Structure 1
Amino acid sequence: MNYQTFQPHPDLSALVKFYWTLEVPFDPNNQKQKIIPDGCIEMTFNLEDKIKRYVSEKDYIIHPNSMVMGQRTKSYFIEPLGNVNSFAICFYPYGFANFICTPLENLVDVETPIESLFGEIPAKELEQKMLQAANTQERIEIIETFLLNKLNLNKTIENLVKTTVDTLLATNGSTSINQILKNDLSKRRQLERNFKKQIGISPKQLGKVLRLQTALKMLLNDKESLTNIAYESEYFDQAHFIKDFKEFIGTTPKEFIGNENMALSTLFYK
């Protein structure tokens, strides 16, 4: 697997976290891979063979070649049908809402073809340019031109939503929503409504995902004990950490390490 990341233009750096590419030669012995929620929305271009996502143990759907994957509330398995050559834009939680008018709660846990969001003709033109580009740098230039043009046509994120996301990102999801709102419960309903529209999920869900991401990176990189990881990630205790881990990933932390089905996620987060 060849996975690389690239930084966006400064004019987009507040909205786009990074670009990534993934190349995986086809091998009939490759295992299906589990994708884990990360709190981000991604626009992906599949430049070679098809990829399928499992919706049950045996049933699956085929990914669109060009799509947006909204916020994820659960893990899922994918499996390539041939060579993988993908280019993707990883948006910060409030990033993608600046480019479309569709409520982001409509995109949760589904793959949405880009023509459904940007129109058939602009989407097809963009897809062809990305396919015909000579290299990654050219693809970055193409997508940044597209995004900057779209950014000028849409309104920006509601301030309370942005403040909440910024706080959750800065504290790795460990700050409670009541603390962020300074116990002003009159703002809670407004925040929940706008958050789902502009982020896709609730503030509490995003906080849980971000805190899990912190613990997962520690698990992969630091080799600390589960007790220390739980403590440093500000879980109530180890049992609370394991419960959240199983909820989002479907395995215990110990089962995750060295699991062939987790190789891609390990590559992403290590």
Structure 2
Amino acid sequence: MNYETFAPHPNLDAIVKCHWILEVPGDMEAPKQRVIPDGCIEMCFILGDDVKRFNSENEFIIQPRAMVFGQITKPYFVKPTGYVNTFAVRFYPYGFANFITQPIHELADKETPLTSLFEESSIKELEQKIIEAASTKSRIAIIESFLLSRLTDKSIIDNIVTSTIDSLSQTKGSASINSILKDDLSKRRNLERKFSKQVGISPKQLGRIIRLQAALKMMLNKPGENLTQVAYENEYYDQAHFTKDFKEFTGVNPKQYLDNDQMMLSSLIYSKD
């Protein structure tokens, strides 16, 4: 299993967190993999065999081969049908709003074909170029040219949104929204409207996801760390609060996560991200 990330062009680095690739041999038998919220939006190109996303224990859809997956608010399962070869762009929480006109919350918890968001002929041409590219470097150049050609006005990224996300990131999600707004509650409703349009989830929910990710990285990079200490260092009220949040976003408790082979993919990604 090979997962790598690549830095974006300087003109996109305020919007794009990274480009990434994932390759898994077709003969590598793996169970369904659990994908959990990370606060980002992904534009994905499936270059290998089809990938199933499960709606229930036995029901699934085949993911579009060129798509955007919106904000994730609950865990879901995927399973490749064979060889995995995916190229993708990971946007910061507010990043993808710069490229489309519809509210970002409409994309949450589902895959949306790129042809539903952009002109179909341009997407067909883009997809063909991505498929035919000889290297990851070439694919990055192709997708960045596409994005830069559509980045006409950065002013859509509202200062109150970016400053709130910066504060949440710097405090690993532990800062309260009231403290960020300095208890000016008149700003809260406005902030929540802007988050719905530009991020796709509420500021409080994004803060919870950022804090969960910080705790998850600590668990993955410090195996054997006491879970009470993980909860304390990430400013949960107590271990019970940590376990409750963890289970809500991942579907399992922290101990089950570390011992579960359905977490191989997310453990690989989140330990490096």
> For the superposition of Structure 1 and Structure 2, which TM-score range results when normalised by the shorter chain?
over 0.9
Alignment of 1:147-158 (within 5 A): 147-152=147-152, 155-158=155-158
Instruction: With the length of structure 1 as denominator, give the TM-score of the two structures.
Output: 0.98
The AA in structure 2 aligned to 1:172 is K
Q: Residue by residue, what CA displacement relative to the aligned partner does 1:98-152 show, whole Å, maximum 9, x if unpaired?
A: 1111110100001000111112111111111101101100000001101111112
The AA in structure 1 aligned to 2:113 is P
1:130 aligned partner = 130
2:27 aligned partner = 27
**Percent identity of the aligned residues?**
60
Note the C-alpha offset of 1:30: 1.7
**Unmatched 5+ stretches in structure 2:** none
- Cα distance in 2 for residues equivalent to 1:30 and 1:263: 9
Would the aligned equivalents of 1:99 and 1:154 in 2 still touch at CA under 8 Å?
Answer: no
2:244 aligned partner = 243
1:227 aligned partner = 228
The AA in structure 2 aligned to 1:258 is D
- Cα distance in 2 for residues equivalent to 1:147 and 1:123: 12
2:204 aligned partner = 204
1:42 aligned partner = 42
The AA in structure 1 aligned to 2:162 is K
- Cα distance in 2 for residues equivalent to 1:257 and 1:118: 40
The AA in structure 2 aligned to 1:249 is T
- Cα distance in 2 for residues equivalent to 1:159 and 1:49: 41
**Unmatched 5+ stretches in structure 1:** none
2:142 aligned partner = 142
Would the aligned equivalents of 1:245 and 1:251 in 2 still touch at CA under 8 Å?
Answer: yes
Question: Does 1:101 pair with 2:101?
Answer: yes
Note the C-alpha offset of 1:154: 6.7
Q: Residue by residue, what CA displacement relative to the aligned partner does 1:194-249 show, whole Å, maximum 9, x if unpaired?
A: 10110000001100000000000111111210011001011011000000000000
Would the aligned equivalents of 1:101 and 1:154 in 2 still touch at CA under 8 Å?
Answer: no
1:181 aligned partner = 181
- Cα distance in 1 for residues equivalent to 2:234 and 2:213: 9
- Cα distance in 2 for residues equivalent to 1:184 and 1:154: 26
Note the C-alpha offset of 1:170: 1.4
The AA in structure 2 aligned to 1:41 is I
| Partner SS state of residue 267, structure 1 | helix
- Cα distance in 1 for residues equivalent to 2:55 and 2:125: 30
Would the aligned equivalents of 1:100 and 1:154 in 2 still touch at CA under 8 Å?
Answer: no
Note the C-alpha offset of 1:258: 2.8
1:165 aligned partner = 165
- Cα distance in 2 for residues equivalent to 1:150 and 1:132: 22
| Partner SS state of residue 31, structure 1 | coil
1:17 aligned partner = 17
What is the RMSD computed on CA atoms of the aligned residues? 1.1
| Partner SS state of residue 172, structure 1 | coil
| Partner SS state of residue 228, structure 2 | helix
- Cα distance in 1 for residues equivalent to 2:2 and 2:29: 17
Instruction: With the length of structure 2 as denominator, give the TM-score of the two structures.
Output: 0.97
The AA in structure 1 aligned to 2:77 is F
- Cα distance in 1 for residues equivalent to 2:29 and 2:156: 46
